[in-house]
Structure 1
Amino acid sequence: MIEVRDLTFGYAGGGFRMRVPEFSLAEGERVAIVGPSGSGKTTLLNLIAGILTPEAGRIEVGGTEVTGMSDGDRRRFRASRIGFVFQDFALLDYLSARQNIFYPYRITPALTLDAAAKERAQRLADACGIGDKLDRHPAALSQGEQQRVAICRALVTQPGLILSDEATGNLDPASKARILDLLFEQAAEAGAAVLAVTHDHELLPRFGRVLDFAQFREAEEA
């Protein structure tokens, strides 16, 4: 599902550089990434999703080379093929929770917001405990509820790849287990792979493979 080769990246102004000689993720695999804050874990997810572009190297997702796409093509590819749970949720304040969940359909002509998609969204929202809050805007939701909206948005299109950046970070232990169950259940239903950044080591036994970021990247401070 993911093939990364000879990847290099640095932020403008220096201070951080990352090199990933090789990394791969099989279809349907569940992999957790651990490592200290600021080590580049989120940067790697953003590169895989095409939000950031590398200086050099190759990234393939589902057989498609993301690094060779234009900005618009990467955005459409991400919306239709990748479910991304952002650490800061990335909800749009002027949209209701329901409209935020449906946002991928709004920006991607390849997706059709049909009855099945609407039913799936309601089912996901009910499972996340926000089924009765879909008409509220983010400002009227708690942080945990906003996080659940972001999770529903990532899963509603049944993507082949789910990228999760601390998806359960603001939840209580019982909610963490329930959300992870939902994440894995939906991934299994869609045959999707899961690549998750987490600081919660209690969740690591739930994953098929755990990688310390230092095992497959090199970072240097300028």
Structure 2
Amino acid sequence: MVRVENLTFGYGAKGFRLRVPDLLLEKGERVAIVGPSGSGKTTLLNLIAGILTPEAGRVSVAGTEVSQLSDTQRRRFRASQIGFVFQDFALLDYLPARQNILYPYRITPALTLDAAARARADKLAAACGIGDKLDRHPGALSQGEQQRVAICRALVTQPNLILSDEATGNLDPDSKARILDLLFEQAEEAGATVLAVTHDHELLPRFERVLDFAQFREGAPL
């Protein structure tokens, strides 16, 4: 599902640099990434999603070399193939929760906003405990509720790849378990791969594989 080969990326000539010699994620895998803050975990997710492009190397998702697509092609590919739970949620303040969840359907012609998609959005929201808050704007929601909206948005398109950047970071233990159950349930239903950045080591046994990001800094393949 994901292949990263000989990737290098840097922020400016003297800024942070990331090197990933080799990374392979199989279809349906549940993989966690751990490592110290500032080590490049979020940068890697952004490179896989095509939000950033590498200086060198290749990033492929579901057989498509994302790093070779144009900006427009990457946006459309990301909207239709990748569900991304951003660490800062990336919600649009001017849209109510329901429309934030359905936003991927508004930005790419590859997706059709039909009754099934709307029903799926409502079902996901109910499963996340925000079914009664779909008409509220982000400013009227708590941080935890905003996070759940972001999770629903990542899942609503039934993507092939789910990227999660601290998706459960602002939730209580019971909610963390429920959200992770939902992520894995939706991934299994769609045959999707899950790649999740987390600092919560109590969640690691739920994943099939754990990647220690310190190895990237040493140049070792994972």
Whether the TM-score (by the shorter chain) exceeds 0.5 is yes
| Distance in 1 between residues matched to 2:215 and 2:149, nearest whole Å | 33
Q: CA deviation at 1:217?
A: 4.3
Gaps of 5+ in 2: none
The change in CA–CA distance for 1:75 and 1:218 in structure 2 (over 3 A counts) is: farther
The number of aligned residues is 219
Per the alignment, residue 18 of structure 1 pairs with 18
1:9-48 equivalences in 2 (<5 Å): 9-48=9-48
The change in CA–CA distance for 1:44 and 1:218 in structure 2 (over 3 A counts) is: farther
Q: CA deviation at 1:13?
A: 4.9
- 8 Å Cα contact 1:83/1:159 also seen in 2: yes
| Distance in 1 between residues matched to 2:41 and 2:216, nearest whole Å | 11
The change in CA–CA distance for 1:218 and 1:73 in structure 2 (over 3 A counts) is: farther
Q: 1:192-211 CA deviation, whole Å, 9 max, x = no partner?
A: 00000000000000000001
Per the alignment, residue 179 of structure 2 pairs with 179
- 8 Å Cα contact 1:20/1:218 also seen in 2: no
Per the alignment, residue 163 of structure 1 pairs with 163
- 8 Å Cα contact 1:21/1:217 also seen in 2: no
TM-score scaled by length of structure 2: 0.97
TM-score scaled by length of structure 1: 0.97
Per the alignment, residue 87 of structure 2 pairs with 87
| Distance in 2 between residues matched to 1:14 and 1:94, nearest whole Å | 38
Q: CA deviation at 1:14?
A: 2.3
1:46-61 equivalences in 2 (<5 Å): 46-61=46-61
Q: 1:41-72 CA deviation, whole Å, 9 max, x = no partner?
A: 00000000000011000000000000110011
Gaps of 5+ in 1: none
Per the alignment, residue 125 of structure 1 pairs with 125
Q: 1:54-112 CA deviation, whole Å, 9 max, x = no partner?
A: 10000000000001100110011000000000000000000110010010000010100
Q: Percent identity?
A: 84
Aligned CA RMSD, in angstroms, stands at 0.9
- 8 Å Cα contact 1:86/1:165 also seen in 2: yes
**Secondary structure, counterpart of 1:119 in structure 2:** helix
**Secondary structure, counterpart of 1:7 in structure 2:** strand
Q: CA deviation at 1:156?
A: 0.1
Q: CA deviation at 1:216?
A: 3.5
